[in-house]
Amino acid sequence: MTNAAKWPGGARCAVILTVDFNDDLGIRTQAPDIGGREKSLSVWRYGARRGVDRLLATLAEYDVPSSWFVPGQVVRTHRDLVARIDAAGHEIGMSGEACEDFDALDLAQQKHAFDSGHAALTASLARPPEGFRPFTGNWAPGFAAHLHARGIAWTSTWHGDDLPYYHHDAPLIELPLHAELEDEPYFAFNLAPPVPAGQSRIASYREVLGNWTRDFDAFHRFGLCFVMRLHPEIIGTAGRIGVLRDLLATMRARGDVWFATGAQAASWWRERCRANEPGHPVEIFERHRSTIV
């Protein structure tokens, strides 16, 4: 596909909003010593208490679909909340069992974490998920084939492009991320244990909106796939939700933007593009990796 590509309905660009709903599991992985610190844990539990509903209301206001990633333990703990997300018409994908760091797991352990979370989500939704995103870390060689065998059609965790592409070792569509299109690098904060390490964060709302708007303008200009990664405990506060509302209003005002779930975007890309373009970074990486393994 070339720049200024036409998307479904003649849209100039695609927008996919993804949401990581991890409750307090993610911070327990990032900062293990947070266990037992109820005041700090409450920062991340805010998502389930307030953030999810506020985010759902905003998405409904602008009629925007989204794709959520939920680990198995959150599915079990917040079954009613997950059901509410599903009933609102949003896609729900996989995120392991307990926000595991995949860098710390071998292939067998990665498969076990996936299978456990997959069973919980499939039982809750009465259907298997199509999308997958690990909380953090890299998956081992052979894991992509396991995803494909279990019915996963798309992932969103790698970088390396502004358009969807195929993974080399399994027919999975990747919807690539960019750190500047996530809320966490701007806003995640806790005093003790320090998040981020060394402190200093909580960016200006006006400047973050300016960054996201400028990125959207560029993605729109070149006909690309704008993938956001949000967290209900971060973007779902009373003030920050206004940043997302303003951004969605700007996108809606263009009139030529395709808002899609990850599954919809992956399916459309698969029908339109049968393979990666020659010289794609993922192909070059695989050739390099194969020479050193």
**pLDDT tens per residue across span 140-184:** 999 999 999 999 999 999 998 999 999 988 899 999 999 999 999
pLDDT digits (tens, 9 = 90+) for 103-127: 999 999 999 999 999 999 999 999 9
Supply 166's token pair: 């195929």
- Give the residue-averaged pLDDT of 216-244: 97
Confidence of residue 199 (pLDDT cuts 50, 70, 90): low
* Radius of gyration, CA atoms only, the chain: 18
- DSSP per-residue codes, 175-232: ----GGGBSHHHH--BTTTTBSTT------HHHHHHHHHHHHHHHHHHT-EEEEEE-H
Q: What is the pTM of this model?
A: 0.90
Q: For residues 122 and 117, what is the distance between their CA atoms, to the nearest angstrom?
A: 9
Alpha-carbon distances of 200 from 208, 256, 271, rounded to whole Å: 15, 38, 45
Predicted local confidence at residue 191, as pLDDT:
59
Q: What is the mean pLDDT of the segment spanning 257-264?
A: 98
- The CA distances from residue 224 to 114, 150, 253, in Å, are 30, 29, 18
As a whole-number percent, the residues of the chain with pLDDT over 70 amount to 90
- Cα angle, residue 170 at apex, residues 119 and 163 outer, rounded to 5°: 100
> Quick check: bond before 171 cis, omega within 30?
no
pLDDT at 117: 97
Mean per-residue pLDDT, 67-80: 96
Whose CA is closest to 56, among 17, 25, 96, 26? 17
pLDDT digits (tens, 9 = 90+) for 2-59: 444 589 999 999 999 999 999 887 778 887 777 777 777 777 788 889 999 999 999 9
Q: How confident is the model at residue 198 (pLDDT cuts 50, 70, 90)?
A: low
Which CATH number is 8-292 given?
3.20.20.370
Tell me if 58 sits within 8 A of 246, measured CB to CB. no
How far is Cα 183 from Cα 60, in angstroms, rounded to an integer? 20
